């Protein structure tokens, strides 16, 4: 007779779906961790900062900027993704 929290169920589904997708993509442990951080970052932008979808997409672009570039000043924190993987992440999101 446990009560089900709809909010908790949705969050569980959100993170589980993301985790399963990343595993299907054969992401390494560091890539999987980075992807889960990215999911959390984007969700916090929506829930805590009340960003619009457009603004959140801009933040995603900033986070993904520089992937695949050799210039260390342009490569971001997510530079452990290949260009193809970064495109797949964007498509997923």
pTM: 0.79
Tell me, yes or no, whether 35 lies in a domain: yes
What is the domain count for the chain?
1
Question: Could you give the CA distance from residue 15 to residue 33 in angstroms, rounded to a whole number?
Answer: 12
pLDDT at site 40: 94
Q: What is the pLDDT of residues 35-93, one digit of tens each?
A: 999 999 999 998 888 988 889 888 888 888 767 665 544 445 677 888 899 889 989 98
Tell me, yes or no, whether 45 lies in a domain: yes
- In terms of Cα–Cα distance, which of 74, 82, 23, 15 is closest to 42? 15
Domain that holds residue 69: 6-92
pLDDT at site 76: 53
Tell me, yes or no, whether 46 lies in a domain: yes
Tell me, yes or no, whether 1 lies in a domain: no
Tell me, yes or no, whether 30 lies in a domain: yes
Question: Could you give the CA distance from residue 40 to residue 10 in angstroms, rounded to a whole number?
Answer: 13
Question: Could you give the CA distance from residue 13 to residue 29 in angstroms, rounded to a whole number?
Answer: 21
Q: What is the pLDDT of residues 14-37, one digit of tens each?
A: 999 999 999 999 999 999 999 999
């Amino acid at each position: 007779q446990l009560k089900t929290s709809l909010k908790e169920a949705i969050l569980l589904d959100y993170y589980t779906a993301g985790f399963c997708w990343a595993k299907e993509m054969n992401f390494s442990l560091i890539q999987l961790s980075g992807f889960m951080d990215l999911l959390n970052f984007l969700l916090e932008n929506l829930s805590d900062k009340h960003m619009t979808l457009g603004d959140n997409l801009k933040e995603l672009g900033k986070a993904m900027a520089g992937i695949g570039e050799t210039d260390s000043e342009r490569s971001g924190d997510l530079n452990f993704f290949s260009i193809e993987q970064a495109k797949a992440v964007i498509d997923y999101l």
